[in-house]
């Protein structure tokens, strides 16, 4: 019977054995009668060594036709080799080419980013992309583990919706039989309904914003995790955020050390990310920014450069809390101590990454919520069910949304969110 293929990440358990590795050829080098092939199998990279006098002529000839990204099955004995990537090499006895590749478009040279995004289906194979998306997968798993351990129920909220979740300005609209539907900007409103049924819930899914901005922080489709907790106030909400964010960082440091090294992430900068995070009120943040010579007045939203300035040199994220109501969404609870502001916060990551989380206590007073819906000019009839939550046992509650791509960009130290999602959707990009 044919032995099963061995995954490269498990090679240390097979030292001295003859195994078969299946994967794709990276770089190849020939020194006279010895050839070296890097074989990538999706779990890691191993160096395969073909010695002409030790293999059948067909095997030696096969290596000669191997071009980058050809698919192969390589059989050989596993040896410890500290100088090889991954610490092992294969002393090749057999080599089968299962899929020849010719003229692979991505070459080891500088390519423009548009070219790389056009070839995203292939670019995924490149080591930095591979590493970044593995960190993403670990962070997503850590999100589930964090909430599962704390007894939260995962709720799948709809993607097609009739209610505007955040702002009217960035909606994707589609026909829905006789009606209009939008792609969800958030799962939050449904999360609030579920919090009254299950107490502690989270939603986790794709969300959509027709952002007409081309920045390194905006996608039109991004993934968001949104917990919602009954009887939690804004203060407790910030504590939950700092616990979650710290846990995600810790998990990446613990389980993605190899990936972060490949990405050349200075992990020392993540070592002190733990509660409590830094805190500043919006009013104090505006004063501090004005003191730095930035042009900002009370009432204006903070821009990306303001966020960068506020977090300059910080060892962990910063909460900016209680923004003016006008710059935030309609559902945020009015601050009883200063009615111009809402009980809300943004969580800003250091090193120039800016907002990774937005959260708030929700308006639980029916009349005030209705007034905000009217002030924003939102269609009241779409919110009748949402208002029911204030009619039938209204309760204080809070929640937040953590953007997966922005969080992973910060943890991996990569500048652009477009590399943090397998197939980014941008204003000018729907392909591949």
Distance in Å, CB of 331 to ligand 4AD, minimum: 8
The tokens describing 3, both together, are: 């032995």
Terminal CA-CA length for the chain = 40
The tokens describing 120, both together, are: 């995203």
Closest CA to 356 of 163, 128, 139: 139
CA distances from 317 to 137, 237, 249, 311 (A): 22, 15, 12, 7
CA distances from 393 to 45, 165, 167, 270 (A): 57, 22, 27, 42
Of 132 and 358, CB closest to Mg ion: 358
Q: Using CB under 5 A, which of 358, 399, 403, 424 touches Mg ion? A: 358
Of 44 and 358, CB closest to Mg ion: 358
Site membership for ligand 4AD, residue 317 (CB under 6 A): no
401 binds, among Mg ion, ligand 4AD, none (CB under 5 to 8 A by kind): ligand 4AD
- 77 half-sphere exposure, CB direction, 13 A CA radius: 8
Site membership for Mg ion, residue 359 (CB under 5 A): no
The arrangement of strands across the sheet holding 160-161 comes to 160-161, 179-183, 173-176
Distance in Å, CB of 185 to ligand 4AD, minimum: 6
Site membership for ligand 4AD, residue 186 (CB under 6 A): yes
Of 44 and 359, CB closest to ligand 4AD: 359
Q: Which residues pair with 39 in a beta bridge?
A: 25, 46
Scanning 124-132, 298-306, 351-359, 416-424 for contacts with Mg ion by CB under 5 A, the matching segment is 351-359
Closest CA to 343 of 358, 362, 371: 362
Q: Using CB under 6 A, which of 11, 74, 417, 420 touches ligand 4AD? A: 417
The tokens describing 4, both together, are: 């099963």
Site membership for ligand 4AD, residue 403 (CB under 6 A): yes
Site membership for ligand 4AD, residue 421 (CB under 6 A): no
Of 222 and 247, CB closest to ligand 4AD: 222
Residues forming contacts to ligand 4AD in the complex (CB under 6 A) are 166, 186, 188, 209, 211, 218-219, 222, 224, 226, 355-360, 399-401, 403, 405-406, 417
**Residues in touch with Mg ion (CB under 5 A):** 358
């Amino acid at each position: 019977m044919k032995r099963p293929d061995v995954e490269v990440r498990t090679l240390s358990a097979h030292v001295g054995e003859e195994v078969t590795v299946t994967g794709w050829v990276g770089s190849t080098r020939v020194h006279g009668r010895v050839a070296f092939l890097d074989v990538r199998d999706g779990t890691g990279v191993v160096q395969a060594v073909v010695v002409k006098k030790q293999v059948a002529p067909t095997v030696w000839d096969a290596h000669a036709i191997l071009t980058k990204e050809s698919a192969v099955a390589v059989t050989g004995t596993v040896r410890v080799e500290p100088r090889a990537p991954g610490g092992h090499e294969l002393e090749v006895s057999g080599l089968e080419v299962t899929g020849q590749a010719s003229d692979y478009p991505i070459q080891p040279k500088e390519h423009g980013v548009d070219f790389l995004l056009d070839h995203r289906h292939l670019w995924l194979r490149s080591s930095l992309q591979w590493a970044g998306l593995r960190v993403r997968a670990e962070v997503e798993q850590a999100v589930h583990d964090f909430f599962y351990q704390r007894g939260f129920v995962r709720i799948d909220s709809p993607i097609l919706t009739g209610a505007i979740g955040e702002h009217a300005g960035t909606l994707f609209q589609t026909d829905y039989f006789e009606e209009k539907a939008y792609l969800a900007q958030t799962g939050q409103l449904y999360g609030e309904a579920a919090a009254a049924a299950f107490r502690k819930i989270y939603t986790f899914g794709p969300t959509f914003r027709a952002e007409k901005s081309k920045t390194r922080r905006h996608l039109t489709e991004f993934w968001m995790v949104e917990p919602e907790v009954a009887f939690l106030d804004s203060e407790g909400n910030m504590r939950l955020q700092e616990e979650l964010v710290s846990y995600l960082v810790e998990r990446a440091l613990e389980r993605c050390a190899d990936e972060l090294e490949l990405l050349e992430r200075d992990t020392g900068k993540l070592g002190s990310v733990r509660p409590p995070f830094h805190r500043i009120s919006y009013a104090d943040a505006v004063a501090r920014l004005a003191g730095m010579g930035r042009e900002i007045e009370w009432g204006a939203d903070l821009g990306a450069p303001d966020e960068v300035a506020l977090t300059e040199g910080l060892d962990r994220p910063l909460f900016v809390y209680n923004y003016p109501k006008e710059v935030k969404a309609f559902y945020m609870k009015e601050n009883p101590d200063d009615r111009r502001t809402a009980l809300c916060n943004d969580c800003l990551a250091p090193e120039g990454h800016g907002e990774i989380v937005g959260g708030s206590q929700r308006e639980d007073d029916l009349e005030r919520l209705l007034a905000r819906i009217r002030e924003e000019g939102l269609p009241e009839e779409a919110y009748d069910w949402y208002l029911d939550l204030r009619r039938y046992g209204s309760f204080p509650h809070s929640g937040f949304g953590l953007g997966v791509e922005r969080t992973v960009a910060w943890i991996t130290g990569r500048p652009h969110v477009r590399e943090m999602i397998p197939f980014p959707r941008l204003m000018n990009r729907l392909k591949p």
